[in-house]
Structure 1
């Protein structure tokens, strides 16, 4: 993943080479008020019945504006969108022609999106996550975030930074599934129109409210 969420993936305020992952996260949350990038996501499920683990790769674009607004648009291999407008979280699956609507405050909390896009400051993150530095690898500084709420599906998230720029997310859920996002073509603090985070249910799509 190049300089970044490069977010949820995006602050490119150059830090010293000695900066820790936690210091980079703090700078990122403080300085990156908005951003956009492209991403590649690789999801690997744990092996079953002696079979090798299989990986699924998808790609798309990501935009965010603090606090609480973000948008993931998956373009390949299937069209999907995840949009948070500050009050409502929308999940759209074009293949199923289905939209799921949830209250954002209940849906985010201890999620990767809260780490890179939703939280207004580090203190807000520390209310939901235990944060600890990790050893440098792949030329990135890492911080591990473990949800304090043990009832969710998220086991941990590791966030990788290049300087203060978010470069990678490694997400492990409670089922042993690992999701790795790499960010590229990052823009930090672009002017994003309000329409970026508005979602309109497509004509003919089924709407499910949760």
Structure 2
């Protein structure tokens, strides 16, 4: 099954909803960034199953997929979406590979340009880099801690990204783009800070596929 360009771009994107935040005092924003850093700094590895939904600007469901992810900081990620929308994103810490078997295509990009593929890779970097690149806002809802990130630079795939933590565990990621399309990802069977073999983050390009190498801007 072939995907539209928009569907391919957001197959791995992590979802967001417009939470209606207004400008906050700088001291409050700094406190939110510190709270997020406290959650992310101890995170060394993360493994989970996920359910992902892509929603149109009117709230209609455009796509729903399931898959698994493995993350090891710094910089390594494997993100696999199950059939019928099978796709794989792999970062080995230096390059990111996006494999679309339906298109028989692999796109390779430097890690610095990683957000083009999936904001999940934001989690693989340092917390300091994350809070330097985004304005961070914080609220509590039904016992969960919710962090909303607004990009400082306009050259990003999304306009808002939110992370939901239950205690110390990341349970949801939300994203919205400039058209109002939203992607929601909910994690289950979560394991944090357990060893993951580095081979999980190796990607061998299959024979016979087109390879596109994109240069960072």
The offset of 1:135, in angstroms, is 4.1
The offset of 1:114, in angstroms, is 4.2
Larger helix fraction of residues: 2
Corresponding residue of 1:64 = 71
Corresponding residue of 1:27 = 38
Higher relative contact order, chain-length normalized (CA < 8 Å, sep 6+)? 1
CA contact (8 A) 1:153 1:173 kept: yes
- Structure 2: stretches of 5+ with no match in the other structure: 1-13, 15-30
Task: Please tell me whether residue 128 in structure 1 is matched to residue 133 in structure 2.
Answer: yes
User: Please, what TM-score do these two structures have when normalized by structure 1?
Assistant: 0.80
CA RMSD after TM alignment: 2.3
The offset of 1:23, in angstroms, is 6.2
- Structure 1: stretches of 5+ with no match in the other structure: 1-7, 9-19
1:201 paired residue among 193, 205, 208: 205
The aligned length equals 185
Corresponding residue of 1:43 = 54
The offset of 1:77, in angstroms, is 2.6
The offset of 1:26, in angstroms, is 2.4
The offset of 1:112, in angstroms, is 2.5
1:144 paired residue among 120, 128, 148: 148
The offset of 1:54, in angstroms, is 3.3
Question: CA offsets per residue over residues 105-141 of structure 1, 9 Å max, x none?
Answer: 12339x622442x2223x221111110113415x421
Matches within 5 A, 1:1-210: 25-47=36-58, 53-108=60-115, 112-116=119-123, 118-121=124-127, 123-137=128-142, 139-210=143-214
Corresponding residue of 1:17 = none
Q: Structure 2: how far apart are the matches of 1:24 and 1:126?
A: 11
Q: Structure 2: how far apart are the matches of 1:83 and 1:71?
A: 4
CA contact (8 A) 2:115 2:122 kept: no
Question: CA offsets per residue over residues 132-191 of structure 1, 9 Å max, x none?
Answer: 113415x42101001101122310101101001000001011121100000000111121
Q: Structure 2: how far apart are the matches of 1:22 and 1:107?
A: 22
